[in-house]
């Protein structure tokens, strides 16, 4: 329902809807590390770096009308294409614990601060008016984020090791695809694009081989 001047708004006709989304996250970083201290089985490192993050998400809702009403005007869909581009600096801290000659636990924390650019494109078919419609909006601001990793390395030989780690990635004020739809302006005849940023949290597990030369 869209709140109108009289408080009644526009009421949707009965519909069946199907929602789907697809997201892609890419990150690249260039870092400089230095050892702070080494004592017994423990080592502590600190560093500074540059971080780039790209997060794209597409969201789509297909509508099939099942009863009488004004909106949607016919069977149709609404789709959003969202792009988030972050670039900034990061301060880093890492700790390593050598449990044995071949087994090591490690953890790292990276605090990020920089600028994010958000681009939103929304298209719809037969929602408030017949035919295709489109809307777009861009915005940018300074945001912060965190990257936390915990894991271990097992050295099979002097040059080869096996690693397993858990990573938590957090970035504030990221635009999600499903939040980009603005159904409140039916008088325009189109579903509008809106900025409604949220927090992005990604959990990852990494497993692989380490080669040292």
- State the DSSP H helix or E strand holding residue 173, giving kind and residue range, or none if neither: strand 160-174
pLDDT band at 2 (very low <50, low <70, confident <90, very high): very low
For the ranges 6-10, 23-27, 43-47, 186-190, which has the lowest average pLDDT?
Answer: 6-10
Length of the chain counted residue by residue = 213
pLDDT at 163: 92
Q: How far is residue 113's CA from residue 175's CA, in Å, rounded to a whole number?
A: 17
pLDDT band at 8 (very low <50, low <70, confident <90, very high): low
For the ranges 3-7, 151-155, 202-206, which has the lowest average pLDDT?
Answer: 3-7
Which has the higher per-residue pLDDT, 136 or 185?
136
Q: Is the pLDDT of residue 90 over 70?
A: yes
pLDDT, one tens digit per residue, over 159-190 is: 888 999 999 999 999 999 999 999 888 888 89
How deeply is 34 buried, as exposed, middle or buried, from its count of CB atoms within 10 A (0-12, 13-18, 19+)?
Answer: exposed
Q: How far is residue 183's CA from residue 61's CA, in Å, rounded to a whole number?
A: 13
Q: How far is residue 87's CA from residue 53's CA, in Å, rounded to a whole number?
A: 6
pLDDT, one tens digit per residue, over 30-62 is: 999 999 999 888 999 999 999 999 999 999 999
Mean pLDDT (whole number) for 101-126: 95
pLDDT at 6: 54
């Amino acid at each position: 329902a869209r709140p109108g001047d009289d408080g009644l708004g526009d009421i949707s006709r009965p519909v069946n809807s199907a929602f789907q989304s697809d997201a892609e996250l890419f990150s690249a970083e260039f870092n400089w590390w230095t050892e702070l201290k080494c004592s017994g089985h423990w080592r502590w490192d600190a560093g500074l770096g540059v971080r780039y993050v790209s997060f794209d998400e597409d969201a789509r809702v297909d509508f099939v009308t099942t009863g009488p009403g004004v909106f949607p005007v016919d069977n149709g869909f609404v789709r959003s294409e969202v792009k988030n581009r972050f670039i900034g600096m990061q301060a880093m801290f890492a700790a390593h614990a050598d449990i044995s000659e071949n087994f090591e636990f490690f953890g790292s924390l990276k605090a990020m601060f920089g600028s994010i650019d958000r681009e939103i494109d929304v298209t719809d078919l037969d929602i408030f008016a017949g035919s295709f419609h489109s809307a777009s909006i861009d915005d940018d601001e300074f945001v912060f984020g965190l990257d936390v990793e915990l894991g271990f390395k097992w050295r099979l030989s002097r040059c080869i090791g096996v690693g397993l780690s858990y990573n938590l990635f957090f970035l504030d004020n990221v635009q999600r695809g499903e939040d980009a739809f603005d159904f409140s302006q039916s008088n325009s005849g189109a579903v509008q694009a809106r900025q409604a940023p949220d927090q992005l949290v990604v959990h990852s597990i990494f497993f692989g081989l380490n080669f040292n030369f």
